[in-house]
Amino acid sequence: MIGKISSELLLALVLGSTLGCSSAVHGDSVGKADLIVIEKSHHSMVLMKDGKPLRSYQVALGRSSGPKERQGDHKTPEGQYVIDQKNAQSRFHLALHVSYPNASDKKRAHDARADPGGAFMIHGVEKPFAWLGSLQHEVDWTDGCIAVTNPEIEEIWGLVSVGTPVEIKP
């Protein structure tokens, strides 16, 4: 589940941010990524190919810190997952669904008598906010998802296949 950008967040993004960018990392690698590595502490996502960086992006995460514990906690999960679906009709431009919850997530939620949730994606930005571009990643605004700019999700869409492993680190 993904939250809406509030007017306060929009104002903070416009007034208090510097521009960031996606970058090709070391070379002109061609081909599909075989691993996605997200480091929450660095707000970064790297597409890997044969153990080497293919592309790198700055990302926005969930509004709350720490590993996801239950549905509605606004936290981005941590662990091992896969891209299990592509959604070209997402309200967030394009979306790659991630296979959260895994077995350990389900157990943790069960032990806490909580619903782990499951609508976890790597996605772009809603059309009315697409003009924000790279400013969107200056503030964590999602309900636990991972957000990039719309041009970035278009690039990622072409570089990532269903079945690509996703590793999310604290």
**Which residues have a catalytic role annotated?**
123, 145
d(CA 108, CA 62): 19
The answer to whether the CB of 134 falls within 8 A of the CB of 19 is yes
Residue 160 φ/ψ, nearest 5 degrees: -120, 135
Report d(CA 102, CA 120) in Å as an integer: 12
CB 148 within 8 A of CB 156: yes
19 SS3 class: coil
DSSP annotation of 23: E
Instruction: List C-alpha distances in Å: 110 to 55, 69, 73, 117.
Output: 36, 10, 15, 11
Q: Cβ-count burial of 140 within 10 angstroms (0-12 exposed, 13-18 middle, 19+ buried)?
A: buried
